[in-house]
Structure 1
Amino acid sequence: MSIFILVGGLVGAAGVALSAYGAHAGGGNVTTAAQFLLFHAPLFVALGLAGNLNRVRTAGAGLLGIGLALFCGDLLMRHFAGTRLFAMAAPAGGMAMISGWLVIAVSGLSNKSR
């Protein structure tokens, strides 16, 4: 599914850009967001290249994407706007990422693909 390759590329590019910003302008929250983006970008590319996606694996990737958006979005809002995305956005994003990784792990128990 090429959408995952697209997402992986965009997430990776954002991670590199934010890493550069964090290195030159400072900002712990920006650097943390950049790291999380860079940690997850290869997963999206790998899922796109694997070609044997099933519903469980796709759901796990969706949870990871939502989690990244919430977690990184909240950290970046705090840095650039001085406010939260919304109350508990970062913890909710973190839980979604943990859940997404667990769903990806469980998806390895099935050999079925769509």
Structure 2
Amino acid sequence: MRYDDKRKAGDLIVKLFLILGAVNAMLAVALGAFGAHGLEGKIPEKYLQIWQTGVQYHMYHALGLIAVALIASKLTDAGSVTAAGWLMFAGIVLFSGSLYVLSLTQISVLGAITPLGGVAFIAAWIIVVVSAVKYL
């Protein structure tokens, strides 16, 4: 792959993760507001706290996706940091998503999915650290 082709692919990755990060940050704010104003008094406090945990990690990793985009913009080969971005996105779906569904349905077996998202988050951050040390 020529340098120009790599740069174009890198620009697409930057754009993709910037958009994914911004959309997920917006969703985290909206879901936080829904939890605070729409669910309060409608679900037990325990599940409201679980919802809030989902929102917090959703926002942290939405910002992480934006960080991935910024890091990718500095690299000529963004392959490893791209993997980190996809792991963060998967973590949002698995970790926060399972907590949202658990809160709404109160089906406790759904909590078994949550750690998979946590592992994805941890792996993503490890890749970010390794990429920063290796390439920046």
Same fold, TM exceeding 0.5? yes
Matched, 1:96 2:120: yes
- Which residue number corresponds to residue 100 of structure 2? 76
Matches within 5 A, 1:1-114: 1-24=14-37, 25-26=39-40, 27-50=48-71, 51-53=73-75, 54-83=78-107, 86=110, 88-111=112-135
Supply the distance in 2 between the matched residues of 1:108 and 1:59 (Cα, whole angstroms): 14
Q: Which is greater in Rg?
A: 2
Supply the distance in 1 between the matched residues of 2:134 and 2:15 (Cα, whole angstroms): 22
Cα shift at 1:103: 0.9
Structure 1 residues 55, 85: closer, same or farther in 2, change over 3 A?
farther
Supply the distance in 1 between the matched residues of 2:109 and 2:16 (Cα, whole angstroms): 26
Detail structure 1 runs of 4+ shifted over 6 Å in the superposition: none
Query: Size of the alignment, in residue pairs?
Result: 112
Supply the distance in 2 between the matched residues of 1:45 and 1:6 (Cα, whole angstroms): 8
**Retained in 1: the 8 A contact 2:91–2:117?**
yes
Supply the distance in 1 between the matched residues of 2:105 and 2:125 (Cα, whole angstroms): 30
Supply the distance in 1 between the matched residues of 2:129 and 2:56 (Cα, whole angstroms): 22
Cα shift at 1:52: 2.8
Letter in 2 for 1:32: T
Letter in 2 for 1:33: G
* Structure 2: runs of 5 or more not aligned: 1-13, 41-47
* Structure 1: runs of 5 or more not aligned: none
What's the TM-score, normalizing by structure 1? 0.85
